Amino acid sequence: MSDSELIRSYPHPVLRPDSDDFVGTVFKIDWDEPKELPNAKYEFVFTVTNTCKEIRDLIAEGKAVYMLRFVCKTTLSRQTFTFSEDVCRIQLSLPDFLNDVIITPMIVTLDDIENYSCEAFHPDYRGLDISVCMGDVLAISAPLYFEAP
C-alpha cells in the first residue's frame, strides 16, 4: 500500500490534511533541519501542533501516542518512533538512510476505544457509534521529506 493510499483508506474519521473528517482542528509536525552528528548519526527535532482536545487527552491518558514512520526508498530501511511530548529528538544512523527519506507523522491508539468521539468531528459523524482498535490511526500529518547524503 502506498503512502497516498494509506492516507485515504480509513473506516473512521481521521484528523488529516485535505479532509473534512474534523472541523477547525489541526495536527501537524514541524521540524528543524537535521544535524549531522559524530558517529555517523543524524539528529532531528520535531515539534507537534495538535489542536484537538480529545486526541490530546487520549495522549495524556496514555491511550494514544505520536508516531513518526521513516521510510528510505534507497535502502528500504523502515523505522518507527513513538512519543507523547510536544517536542521530540530522534537520532538515526547514517548508513541506514540514503537519498530520499519520507517521514510520515501520525497519532495512533495504544488501546481499543469504544464510542470514540470528538467535538470537532464533521457533523456527518456525530451520533455514530465509532470504535477504534489498538494501532488504529487517529490523525496523520503531511509527510516530511529528507534528502540523506
Residue 48's pLDDT is 97
Q: What is the pLDDT of residues 18-71, one digit of tens each?
A: 888 999 999 999 998 888 888 778 889 999 999 999 999 999 999 999 999 989
Of 8, 48, 49, 21, the C-alpha closest to 116 is 21
Helix (H, G, I), strand (E, B) or coil at 80: strand
Q: For residues 119 and 70, what is the distance between their CA atoms, to the nearest angstrom? A: 31
Helix (H, G, I), strand (E, B) or coil at 14: coil
Q: What cell numbers appear for 72 in the block?
A: 528510505
Q: What is the pLDDT of residues 72-123, one digit of tens each?
A: 887 888 889 999 999 999 988 767 776 888 999 999 999 999 999 899 999 9
| φ, ψ at 47 (rounded to 5°) | -125, 130
Q: For residues 144 and 103, what is the distance between their CA atoms, to the nearest angstrom? A: 5
The model's pTM is: 0.87
- Overall size of the chain counted in residues: 149
